[in-house]
Structure 1
Amino acid sequence: MMRLFNRGKEPSDVSPQALPTYSSPSSSSAAPVTGPARPIRLVYLDEKGKFRMDPEAVATLQLVKEPIGVVSVCGRARQGKSYILNQLLGRSSGFQVASTHRPCTKGLWLWSTPLKRTALDGTEYNLILLDSEGIDAYDQTGTYSTQIFSLAVLLSSMFIYNQMGGIDETALDRLSLVTQMTKHIRVRASGGRTTPSELGQFSPIFVWLLRDFYLDLVEDNRRITPRDYLELALRPVQGGGRDLAAKNEIRDSIRALFPDRECFTLVRPLNNENDLQRLDQISLDKLRPEFKSGLDALTKFVFERTRPKQLGATVMTGPILVGITDAYLNALNNGAVPTISSSWQSVEEAECRRAYDSATEIYMSAFDRTKPPEEVSLRESHDEAKQKSLAAFNASAVGAGPTRQKYENLLQNFFRKAFEDYKRTAFMEADLQCSNAIQSMEKKLRAACHASDAKIDNVLKVLDNLLSEYEASSHGPGKWRKLSIFLQQRLDDSFFFFF
């Protein structure tokens, strides 16, 4: 019977060609992080020059089924990105802080334990902190820097660009990566080169963090905010010349790529140069009050403004972050340009398919096959199993668009087919059991009729017992019809008139 019941497992209208090309990286080769929280590598470049995801990070993220927001810190090497991340963690140490010329962070690293946060609008989410390799590390190429920078932007809900000093022409030069992003990312598969404003629809909140900031924020003899300072710095500069045009292109790209942007300034935390080299070991109460208040303002902004990253109706979770990252890395490794919409769609397809597969398994395991094969009983088993299956699907499936709707429809088709197949088989087996029971009844009744001491009362008593036994042990929609036919035939054959 179960072979027939399992026939409903695969939907006939999902062909192999229709399945997504994305497959989540296997986490079977590594266990999720246990023990104290620590930074773990998410993305790295292998010895063959290919981007890879670390299996430990994959296994850890696969466990985070709830919505996540990602805050990444990027900037030049050895300028305190890790220190800022540790302050967001509320720790003096965590992400490694460099005190030498060699950068500590290679690739992308994340904190192994998400921070449970609640946004101002009441949204509960897991905050993932991401540390990025310095964009000017001595052993990098220009393309690699752009790719790491682009990955951090694509994966983030909030992107903090960490920089020493004010926003000048040199600082703008360093952010020329922004203009290169449009060459390395596309919004959709067709339509040619993507513009910064198109990318801006998918960009995170951009925070330009200015460290060791010493300028007075004054314009036209009035105090201005750091945000005002940022907007003034991003205004196009009038004039001619190729260099000026290149700088203005960077300004235009930043404004278009990051429509939601903010600026924070932090004064130099200490004056002693030796103490600055071990800033992570200095307690906060020894730092300048202006630095601490600026750090508090930044932390408050990060925690209040970060939201779970979302594209359309699909909200990012740990497994989706794994899938999106894998899709982007596959494109980079194959010499292609990562495409935002198709990457998200492929992950949405794969996650919905995985939710569908899990839901069908749950339906089959939850279906109570011990109940008698009666319409009402089987319907109860079906409804209970269907409810558990749908709950599992809704907990795992992502999005609210046509992809999810497709798998919801496939799941409903599966329910109908699996139930009808099982019911048909169960009724056939029940019908056969009824026939066998009636044959046994006939033999016993004949034996009672031809017994040497046969009497009508004894025969009727035997018949009554046989009918009670049949009623208790036989099932199916043909149960009473078969019994009625049998009794009618015996009466017509004058079976009981044995005297």
Structure 2
Amino acid sequence: MASKNNMPGPVCLIENVEGQLRANQEALSILSAIQQPVVVVAIVGLYRTGKSYLMNKLAGKNTGFSLGSTVQSQTKGIWMWCVPHPQKPDHTLVLLDTEGLGDVEKGDNQNDCWIFALAILLSSTFVYNSMGAINQQAMDQLHYVTELTNRIRTRCSPDPHDLDDSDEYVSLFPDFVWTLRDFSLELKINGQALSADEYLENSLRPLQGTGQKEKEFNLPRICIHKFFPRRKCFVFERPAPGKKLGQLESMQDQDLDSDFVEQVAEFCSYVFRSSKVKMISGGLKVNGPRLSSLVTIYVNSIINGSLPCVENAVLVLAETENSAALQKAIDHYDQQMSQRVQLPTETLQELLDLHRTCEREAIKIFMENSYKDVKQVFRTKLEMELERKQREFITKNQEKSSDRCSALLQDIFSPLYEDVKQGLYYKPMGYRLFLQKIEELKKKFYEQTGKGVQAEEALRKFLKSKEDIEAAILQIDQSLTEKEKTTEVERVKAEAKENTSKLLEEMRNKNEQAITEIKQKHEE
């Protein structure tokens, strides 16, 4: 099966059903699977002018986009073909073939205007295909360019004509390529030969004057200058005699006019070499999922009766990109903490150090993948989520430590209390022996590793739960006089207290240091 960026043939990207546009979910799924940056080339022009032939050549095929051989338009909506870019490794070339403009079967040009506007918004290279020379008739047919200010908003302002003043967004408009088919004139002015590009620029030169005639003449030329600062022109000979034009799909290069074959090769070479990756405001390269989002945003705007807004699309895309960047950062944190942290940690400080390391890595990943988080809304969400996860780890660390200590205490002290049940300490001097054994076992407990941060608290609770046994042993120890017994108890307890204090002093110091570190972090 062909890979997503090497489709065997075109699919419809934007359907046009009875004048209603809608995005094709199958095509959007194909785009969403392409993680590479995309170079998007769209072609528009009057129907039956050979647009599809050029797009098939860009795809490296003779067939694919429907050429048709009758006066009826073959392409409806916008069709897409994704192929590996022939000159840019790890890039995908997305070819968009649009339905023919001016199809008499449609009855009005509203649909054409939207197709034209969408081709502008989605592409990085925009090809306008027409027949013959650039004359006033050709300019009149390009009236769609004068409609852009009524079809596209660059900012979410109430003024639909704000396109003229938005150089930032116009700079993101595609490069403009005008292809002139069946061109039979000599490229000369006043006897001087000129290039196709010079011919285009000369044709776009406005008339002097302020009359209505001059305004109508100049309007499309001014719009092309404004919206497309980078322009290119190609002229093509007639490819074959008229009767054979309907068989272009099956004809080999040797069967076509040699000049035409060379001109097509130059056109393809220029597109491959010069077409840029599709970009959006802020310098973000568009990949398949982002292009899919742009298609959905713009088509939904048209369906809902509003104008496609470049700024709104950027905001929606930023929301999507930043949500994904946020999740990517959190996933990295979770993965690294699960790999690096073995609960329970010996000290709280050990856990905090690991958290800070993973936190820094997660924030770095977010910054590398975020887009236009100007007010740091998503950065703040990330920091709050990481702080919440830190608290969860601290709680889990305490729970794991408690469980570990409970198991250790049960294992270490069980023989002692089994001896108590057997009555080994219910005798004179038994209380002293019992306390000595408690101290030995406490020392053994402290020597165990992997206890975690709850060791002291767990031991305290455990011994407190056994105070009734200690009291019973003390009462039964009748061999000592009340005075001797009191003196003995005080001495032994003082000795035990002193030993315990020494053992616990180091742990208290470590906990106090960890608490100080936490306070310093929160202050930062």
Q: How high is the TM-score relative to the length of structure 1?
A: 0.80
1:131 Cα deviation after fit: 0.6
1:260 Cα deviation after fit: 0.9
Which of 300, 306, 309 is 2:269 aligned to?
300
**AA in 2 matched with 1:205:** D
Query: Structure 1 residues 238, 376: CA separation in 2 closer, same or farther (over 3 Å shift)?
Result: same
User: Match of 1:408, SS?
Assistant: helix
Q: Which has more radius of gyration?
A: 2
**AA in 2 matched with 1:285:** Q
- The residue number in structure 2 matching 1:402 is 374
Instruction: Provide the rounded CA distance (Å) in 2 between the counterparts of 1:283 and 1:358.
Output: 50
Query: Structure 1 residues 59, 393: CA separation in 2 closer, same or farther (over 3 Å shift)?
Result: farther
Instruction: Provide the rounded CA distance (Å) in 2 between the counterparts of 1:150 and 1:107.
Output: 12
User: Unaligned stretches of 5+ in structure 2?
Assistant: 471-491, 497-524
Instruction: Provide the rounded CA distance (Å) in 1 between the counterparts of 2:83 and 2:362.
Output: 29
- The residue number in structure 2 matching 1:288 is 257
Query: Structure 1 residues 401, 384: CA separation in 2 closer, same or farther (over 3 Å shift)?
Result: closer
User: Match of 1:278, SS?
Assistant: helix
1:77 Cα deviation after fit: 0.9
Conservation of the 8 A alpha-carbon contact between 2:4 and 2:34: no
- The residue number in structure 1 matching 2:405 is 434
- The residue number in structure 1 matching 2:49 is 79
Query: Structure 1 residues 372, 234: CA separation in 2 closer, same or farther (over 3 Å shift)?
Result: same
Q: How big is each residue's C-alpha offset from its partner over 1:388-444, in whole Å with a ceiling of 9 and x where there is no partner?
A: 86687578x4535526x5323422332222122221243145236535643664453
Conservation of the 8 A alpha-carbon contact between 1:178 and 1:253: yes
Instruction: Provide the rounded CA distance (Å) in 2 between the counterparts of 1:257 and 1:332.
Output: 21
Which of 180, 192, 217 is 1:210 aligned to?
180
Query: Structure 1 residues 430, 136: CA separation in 2 closer, same or farther (over 3 Å shift)?
Result: same
**AA in 1 matched with 2:54:** I
- The residue number in structure 1 matching 2:66 is 96
1:465 Cα deviation after fit: 7.7
User: Unaligned stretches of 5+ in structure 1?
Assistant: 1-30
Instruction: Provide the rounded CA distance (Å) in 1 between the counterparts of 2:366 and 2:424.
Output: 66
Instruction: Provide the rounded CA distance (Å) in 1 between the counterparts of 2:138 and 2:39.
Output: 28
1:152 Cα deviation after fit: 0.2
Provide the aligned C-alpha RMSD in A: 3.7
- The residue number in structure 1 matching 2:94 is 128
Conservation of the 8 A alpha-carbon contact between 1:32 and 1:57: no
**AA in 1 matched with 2:24:** D
Conservation of the 8 A alpha-carbon contact between 2:37 and 2:277: yes
**AA in 1 matched with 2:141:** R
Query: Structure 1 residues 363, 118: CA separation in 2 closer, same or farther (over 3 Å shift)?
Result: farther
Query: Structure 1 residues 50, 353: CA separation in 2 closer, same or farther (over 3 Å shift)?
Result: farther
- The residue number in structure 1 matching 2:219 is 249
Q: How big is each residue's C-alpha offset from its partner over 1:195-238, in whole Å with a ceiling of 9 and x where there is no partner?
A: 44636333110000111111111123221111111111111124
Which of 372, 382, 394 is 2:343 aligned to?
372
Instruction: Provide the rounded CA distance (Å) in 1 between the counterparts of 2:418 and 2:435.
Output: 9
Conservation of the 8 A alpha-carbon contact between 1:434 and 1:475: yes
- The residue number in structure 2 matching 1:344 is 314
Conservation of the 8 A alpha-carbon contact between 1:32 and 1:56: no
1:156 Cα deviation after fit: 0.6
- The residue number in structure 1 matching 2:127 is 160
Instruction: Provide the rounded CA distance (Å) in 1 between the counterparts of 2:370 and 2:450.
Output: 46
User: Match of 1:402, SS?
Assistant: coil
Query: Structure 1 residues 450, 459: CA separation in 2 closer, same or farther (over 3 Å shift)?
Result: farther
Instruction: Provide the rounded CA distance (Å) in 1 between the counterparts of 2:86 and 2:355.
Output: 39
**AA in 1 matched with 2:302:** L
Conservation of the 8 A alpha-carbon contact between 1:431 and 1:478: yes
User: Match of 1:105, SS?
Assistant: coil
Instruction: Provide the rounded CA distance (Å) in 2 between the counterparts of 1:485 and 1:283.
Output: 91
Instruction: Provide the rounded CA distance (Å) in 1 between the counterparts of 2:95 and 2:267.
Output: 15
Aligned length: 458
**AA in 2 matched with 1:157:** S
Conservation of the 8 A alpha-carbon contact between 1:313 and 1:401: no
Instruction: Provide the rounded CA distance (Å) in 2 between the counterparts of 1:273 and 1:45.
Output: 31
1:340 Cα deviation after fit: 0.8
Conservation of the 8 A alpha-carbon contact between 1:352 and 1:407: yes
Q: How high is the TM-score relative to the length of structure 2?
A: 0.77
- The residue number in structure 2 matching 1:475 is 451
Query: Structure 1 residues 398, 292: CA separation in 2 closer, same or farther (over 3 Å shift)?
Result: farther
| 1:276 aligned onto 2:239 | no
Conservation of the 8 A alpha-carbon contact between 2:5 and 2:84: no
User: Match of 2:128, SS?
Assistant: strand
After superposing the two structures, state which structure 1 stretch, 67-76 or 189-198, moved more: 189-198
Query: Structure 1 residues 427, 171: CA separation in 2 closer, same or farther (over 3 Å shift)?
Result: same
Conservation of the 8 A alpha-carbon contact between 1:146 and 1:177: yes
| 1:421 aligned onto 2:397 | no
Which of 194, 200, 208 is 2:162 aligned to?
194
1:367 Cα deviation after fit: 4.0
- The residue number in structure 2 matching 1:263 is 233
Instruction: Provide the rounded CA distance (Å) in 1 between the counterparts of 2:224 and 2:456.
Output: 80
Q: Which has the higher contact order (CA 8 A, sep 6+)?
A: 1
User: Match of 1:114, SS?
Assistant: strand
| 1:356 aligned onto 2:326 | yes
**AA in 2 matched with 1:107:** G
**AA in 1 matched with 2:162:** T
Instruction: Provide the rounded CA distance (Å) in 2 between the counterparts of 1:275 and 1:460.
Output: 110
**AA in 1 matched with 2:386:** F
1:293 Cα deviation after fit: 2.1
| 1:114 aligned onto 2:90 | no
Conservation of the 8 A alpha-carbon contact between 1:314 and 1:400: no
Query: Structure 1 residues 473, 221: CA separation in 2 closer, same or farther (over 3 Å shift)?
Result: same
User: Match of 2:91, SS?
Assistant: strand
User: Match of 1:52, SS?
Assistant: strand
**AA in 1 matched with 2:76:** K
**AA in 1 matched with 2:455:** K
- The residue number in structure 2 matching 1:9 is none
1:285 Cα deviation after fit: 2.6
**AA in 1 matched with 2:377:** K
Q: How big is each residue's C-alpha offset from its partner over 1:28-74, in whole Å with a ceiling of 9 and x where there is no partner?
A: xxx99699521011111345x54211111111111112221210111
Which of 285, 294, 302 is 1:315 aligned to?
285
Conservation of the 8 A alpha-carbon contact between 1:78 and 1:103: yes
User: Match of 2:43, SS?
Assistant: strand
Instruction: Provide the rounded CA distance (Å) in 1 between the counterparts of 2:367 and 2:3.
Output: 25
Instruction: Provide the rounded CA distance (Å) in 2 between the counterparts of 1:482 and 1:319.
Output: 53
Instruction: Provide the rounded CA distance (Å) in 1 between the counterparts of 2:230 and 2:422.
Output: 98
Conservation of the 8 A alpha-carbon contact between 2:132 and 2:182: yes
Percent same amino acid at aligned positions? Answer: 28
- The residue number in structure 1 matching 2:36 is 66
Query: Structure 1 residues 481, 462: CA separation in 2 closer, same or farther (over 3 Å shift)?
Result: closer
Instruction: Provide the rounded CA distance (Å) in 2 between the counterparts of 1:65 and 1:406.
Output: 26
User: Match of 2:74, SS?
Assistant: coil
